[in-house]
Structure 1
Amino acid sequence: MSSERPWLQQYPEGIPHEIDVDEFPSVVSVLESAIELYKERPAFANMGKSLTYGEIDALSRRFAAYLLGELKLKKGDRVAIMLPNCLQYPIATFGVLRAGLTVVNTNPMYTARELKHQLVDSGASVVLVLDNFGHTVQEVIGDTQVRQVITTGLGDLLGFPKGRLVNFVLKYIKKMVPEYRIPGAVRFNEVLKRGESHSLPGVEIGPSDIAFLQYTGGTTGVAKGAMLTHRNLVANMQQASAWVGTNVKPGEEVIITALPLYHIFALTANGLVFMKFGGLNHMITNPRDMPGFVKELKKVPFTAITGVNTLFNGLLNTPGFDEVDFSRLHLTLGGGMAVQRAVAERWKKATGVTLVEAYGLTETSPAACINPMDLKDYNGSIGLPIPSTDACVKDEDGRLLPVGEVGELCIRGPQVMKGYWNRPEETDKVLDADGWLHTGDMARMDENGYFYIVDRKKDMILVSGFNVYPNEIEDVIAEMPQVLEVAAVGVPDEKSGEVVKVVIVKKDPSLTAEQVKAFARENLTGYKHPRVVEFRTELPKTNVGKILRRELRDETAA
């Protein structure tokens, strides 16, 4: 078998070739074993307040009891969670899972259009939203199946008087909470209080139950929900913890969680893997405030950090970062987008720790390949397939390609999603009969089993680790009556890897770039906004009239 899987020869000592997927039947059983082992240990910390594993246990039980006892939700019902990193996130997420329900992770920065699509598509019955984003929910709630809205303020779990102060400052001084009114909405703390009067029934949760509907653009513009089962997530947690485990001290780890937990990378790598080790997730609510982020890092004796290239780059360029104490740091994991060599080398120099690159997708829960943890220096590779994972490179006709040849990267393993929610034909496009997931990324494998991403098959644009799909941008901009034709492409950007550029053929000669940007601001999340707007008299096309985005990209590159 090893001749077909050359990467196994490269595994560091102590890492198994296969993991035990059946050790835990569900994410809930992982949580419960962590609670048993680490009851008194802090589990999650944010804004100066921390909750122990025991407190997470009690509070998530109450949240679950409210959903089942008061709202009478049925097994498999969907609950949308629209929160940044804050203490309410783990309580709600574990509460939903313990109730045998499905979490629909929802980006709080969504515009009304994007939010409505996700709530309608998932059929969510409940949505939990931070006050800062309540106005977006108010706008669309009438067009969805949601029957209960739960609202919360960032300060709600910080205790008195700090919590009240935080909520007051956000609303009245920083003006970060627009007015909204949602009749019948219940406050989060009230939900926890009501949950106490209900007992939590024993809920049968099986490996094939859907734990998360994790939305991704996949290969087309409209976001699709990847069905990630309890088994998918347990498998990926077992794989990743086996991979980093030789490097980790159970009950002693403190991981900086700056990427949002609603993103699959932080959810699994930080939230689940470090929970299994009894670690403390130190959550950063607004990592975009780099000076504030660095100030926080100076206070925390952290041992691990995950992030995307732009995050590491931002930290390295923030004054005061060189004064952070890195003496306990032993693990830095980069994913979500390509790590740039210059950033990896600067990180190693500043912290003394190698920035280890990993590769994954929403559809693989997410980890598929990771570099060895004892890697001395950045190597430009996405690493080796992790335990119980197969990877290969195929050509257009699905034939296996030999070492060194470039083709589509395909992944197979217990972490591969069940499929896309209510979209069998989209599922069939990416999952073949032999269980291979076609990633849409072009890659090659070297003779040692290391994989290298060469290019993307799709025209996807990657802005700071977030997928941006040209179709979606084009659909929105094309709604402008002054626009005749539009194409969206990614152009290189030092700060975020890529930014969106739109090339437009005008219908109305008076159309300006500023009008296009203003329209995008109303209809698209920040990272999807076109930063560059170019006008032309025509767009390059194929003989059947398909716009050649690649040509536009090549021209920009040239």
Structure 2
Amino acid sequence: MGELQAGKSPFKTESNYDNNLKIWSGGERRTLFSTDLSIGEIIFRQMERHPKLIAQISVTEETVLTWEELHMNAKRVAIYMRKLGLEQGDFVGIIGRLTTHLTAVAYACFFNGTPYHALHTEYDESTIERLFGISRPRLIFCDGDDFEKVQAATEDLQIQIITMRNHPEGSLRIQDILRIPVGQNFQPVRLKDGTDQTLAILSSSGTSGNPKAVTISNSQQIIASFVPLSSSDILYNPNTLDWASGITMTVNAGVFSTTSIIEDSGFNPGALCSLIKKYKISFVFLSSSQLAMLANCPEFESADLSSLRFLTYGGSNCSLDVQKQVRRRLCRDCLNFSYTLTELNGPGCMNFNFDEKPNSVGRPVRGIKVKIIDKQGVAQGPNNLGEICIYNGQNWSGYYKNPGETKKMQDSKNWFHTGDLGYMDEDGYLFIIDRLKDMLKYQTIMYYPSEIENVIAEMPNVVEACVFGIWDPVNGDEAAASVVKKPGTQLEAQEVVDHVKKRITTKFKQLNGGALIVDRIVQSGNRKTNRAATKAEFIKIMKKNTL
């Protein structure tokens, strides 16, 4: 595929600005379905409309399901749940990779109005015990790989566990459930609490503390009505059901009858390049870290990416150099940053115009309002820095059984306080500077690690960097960095320190705490950079090296 710089995005977002209130709006929400319908009812009817279309292809398990087959499997799982007596007030636990039948489990929960609570497979036993101790699911679906860990973590709850693959001897297998007969009269339930009822519980990123149980409602805000998806689209999403993009892609695949390409192994950027060509994938959703991996893999330079209509990424900051490196290989302006919170139930802002506004996270999508507030809570006008706050006009049930943290996130007027520092420009595009909580202080001077990370990202042999503060009794937070180098290249820690010193003249923003070349940046279960854990690993290695 030839490299083209032309080709503007045909997709636009509005940005209406109220100068009196200093609030930006994406305009009225567009509804595609009757507003009283639940997500489960919408997907159920859509599955009936396109029975013979391909719903899902698993490239690792080599399975292909039509919408008719997936519909039938979801109904079988839903019937099993009903036979167990699960009701709308109960929860189903999920800890699973993207295996063939995981989507059927999610849709079954939607059909029954029984929300699932999804946790990442990398969570340790104590985290699983704590989070499932909050929702107390009556049934758990997990991979056999994690069976013993899940069983030990939920021992006191006496929960039925069903395995999705690599089944331990004697376990109840998903295949056993998929033999259940389905009658002619099966229908999705009507929700007792309407679209305010909880659809699922996800976990917050846990980058600044323990993960919290985030409720997601049946609001149609989760439906991507602002993106022209259709049954001809082929989607690829490597993120599991515990991630916001995982549930969003699963919901929208059902709503728009698209084909999903899934794999249950770890993300492989070189393999993705091949999949895009083979299946003519049109929509890809990656984390920022995965985008950096894609940009720096050898296969990317010659990959055929001509089928892509959307290459969307999000979850954390991504260096502008990586974004430009990816955009250079695309024949149209389809590199989109999706900025959101798990708590929002859908995207907050999207940038459909990278060429026009590089490094912006975009304008508010329909149904979203944004304001920037200073330390006193006063709304700011264009180009003024402050905390980003978002309003979606939807009911949010908060962090499950955690009203204290809920009040910290959403104020009395239902604005979400993101904890992100940024500004809106004069055209209504949002730019993020850093996490407020990530702010460092050298002596009496405050600074943000993202500025140093961006400078490190300029180095040609760098894939990813994480900067954090190492405490010094005299200076306070001395910046230090863990850096991942490109495979097959040479990079020394001192080279990173010297590059930052050359590019940044102020002493307090230099890597006074040192640098370390590492194999990976530690991430939370939701694939966001975990500064606290990365810092802890840095300190541990440095101490070991000095012994």
Counterpart of 2:410 (choices 431, 442, 450) is: 431
Q: In the alignment, does 2:35 pair up with 1:45?
A: no
**Counterpart in 2 of 1:109?**
122
Q: In the alignment, does 2:109 pair up with 1:121?
A: no
Q: In the alignment, does 2:30 pair up with 1:19?
A: yes
Superposition deviation, residue 305 in structure 1: 0.9
Q: How does 1:313-392 map to 2 (within 5 A)?
A: 313-354=292-333, 355-372=335-352, 374-376=353-355, 379-392=358-371
**Counterpart in 1 of 2:433?**
454
User: Within 1, Cα distance between the matches of 2:185 and 2:480?
Assistant: 52
Deviations 1:104-157 (A, max 9, x none): 0111111111111111111111111101111211322213x242111121xxxx
User: Within 2, Cα distance between the matches of 1:2 and 1:323?
Assistant: 41
Superposition deviation, residue 382 in structure 1: 0.9
The answer to whether the Cα contact below 8 Å between 1:212 and 1:229 also exists between their aligned partners in 2 is: yes
User: Within 1, Cα distance between the matches of 2:479 and 2:133?
Assistant: 29
The answer to whether the Cα contact below 8 Å between 1:67 and 1:73 also exists between their aligned partners in 2 is: yes
Counterpart of 2:203 (choices 215, 218, 222) is: 215
**Counterpart in 1 of 2:400?**
421
Alignment-mate amino acid for residue 43 of structure 1 = A
**Counterpart in 1 of 2:189?**
203
The answer to whether the Cα contact below 8 Å between 2:341 and 2:347 also exists between their aligned partners in 1 is: yes
Deviations 1:413-446 (A, max 9, x none): 1456321101111111111111101111111111
User: Within 1, Cα distance between the matches of 2:541 and 2:252?
Assistant: 48
Deviations 1:389-429 (A, max 9, x none): 11101123322122211111111014563211011111111
User: Within 2, Cα distance between the matches of 1:202 and 1:252?
Assistant: 26
User: Within 2, Cα distance between the matches of 1:333 and 1:141?
Assistant: 36
Residues 491, 313 of structure 1: alpha-carbon distance in 2 compared, 3 angstrom cutoff: same
Counterpart of 2:214 (choices 222, 226, 245) is: 226
Counterpart of 2:483 (choices 482, 493, 510) is: 493
Superposition deviation, residue 361 in structure 1: 0.9
Deviations 1:48-96 (A, max 9, x none): 3221111111110110000011x11122211011111122211000111
The answer to whether the Cα contact below 8 Å between 1:85 and 1:285 also exists between their aligned partners in 2 is: yes
SS at match of 2:426: coil
User: Within 1, Cα distance between the matches of 2:485 and 2:258?
Assistant: 31
Counterpart of 1:241 (choices 222, 225, 233) is: 225
SS at match of 1:104: strand
Structure having greater relative contact order (Cα 8 Å, sep ≥ 6): 2
**Counterpart in 1 of 2:90?**
77
**Counterpart in 2 of 1:30?**
42
Point out where structure 2 has 5 or more consecutive residues left out of the alignment. Answer: 1-14, 440-448, 454-465, 469-476, 487-521
Point out where structure 1 has 5 or more consecutive residues left out of the alignment. Answer: 154-166, 168-176, 471-486, 497-519, 538-558
SS at match of 2:377: coil
**Counterpart in 2 of 1:66?**
80
User: Within 2, Cα distance between the matches of 1:45 and 1:113?
Assistant: 34
Alignment-mate amino acid for residue 531 of structure 1 = E
SS at match of 2:420: strand
The answer to whether the Cα contact below 8 Å between 2:109 and 2:116 also exists between their aligned partners in 1 is: yes
Q: How does 1:140-151 map to 2 (within 5 A)?
A: 140-143=153-156, 145-151=157-163
**Counterpart in 2 of 1:531?**
537
User: Within 2, Cα distance between the matches of 1:447 and 1:347?
Assistant: 27
Alignment-mate amino acid for residue 359 of structure 2 = G
Superposition deviation, residue 296 in structure 1: 3.5
Amino-acid identity (%): 21
**Counterpart in 2 of 1:502?**
none
User: Within 1, Cα distance between the matches of 2:359 and 2:30?
Assistant: 27
The answer to whether the Cα contact below 8 Å between 1:64 and 1:96 also exists between their aligned partners in 2 is: yes
CA RMSD of aligned residues (A): 3.7
Deviations 1:31-59 (A, max 9, x none): 12321332211112112322111111111
User: Within 2, Cα distance between the matches of 1:73 and 1:118?
Assistant: 19
The answer to whether the Cα contact below 8 Å between 2:301 and 2:329 also exists between their aligned partners in 1 is: yes
Alignment-mate amino acid for residue 225 of structure 1 = A
Alignment-mate amino acid for residue 109 of structure 1 = E
User: Within 1, Cα distance between the matches of 2:405 and 2:348?
Assistant: 21
Number of equivalenced pairs: 452
The answer to whether the Cα contact below 8 Å between 1:207 and 1:229 also exists between their aligned partners in 2 is: yes
Alignment-mate amino acid for residue 483 of structure 2 = D
User: Within 1, Cα distance between the matches of 2:70 and 2:238?
Assistant: 20
**Counterpart in 2 of 1:54?**
68
Residues 445, 377 of structure 1: alpha-carbon distance in 2 compared, 3 angstrom cutoff: closer
Residues 219, 134 of structure 1: alpha-carbon distance in 2 compared, 3 angstrom cutoff: closer
The answer to whether the Cα contact below 8 Å between 2:243 and 2:526 also exists between their aligned partners in 1 is: no
Q: How does 1:380-419 map to 2 (within 5 A)?
A: 380-414=359-393, 417-419=396-398
The answer to whether the Cα contact below 8 Å between 2:90 and 2:114 also exists between their aligned partners in 1 is: yes
Superposition deviation, residue 291 in structure 1: 4.1
The answer to whether the Cα contact below 8 Å between 2:23 and 2:371 also exists between their aligned partners in 1 is: no
SS at match of 2:80: helix
Residues 278, 414 of structure 1: alpha-carbon distance in 2 compared, 3 angstrom cutoff: farther
SS at match of 1:350: coil
User: Within 1, Cα distance between the matches of 2:389 and 2:129?
Assistant: 32
SS at match of 1:189: helix
**Counterpart in 1 of 2:241?**
261
Residues 260, 217 of structure 1: alpha-carbon distance in 2 compared, 3 angstrom cutoff: closer
Alignment-mate amino acid for residue 203 of structure 1 = V
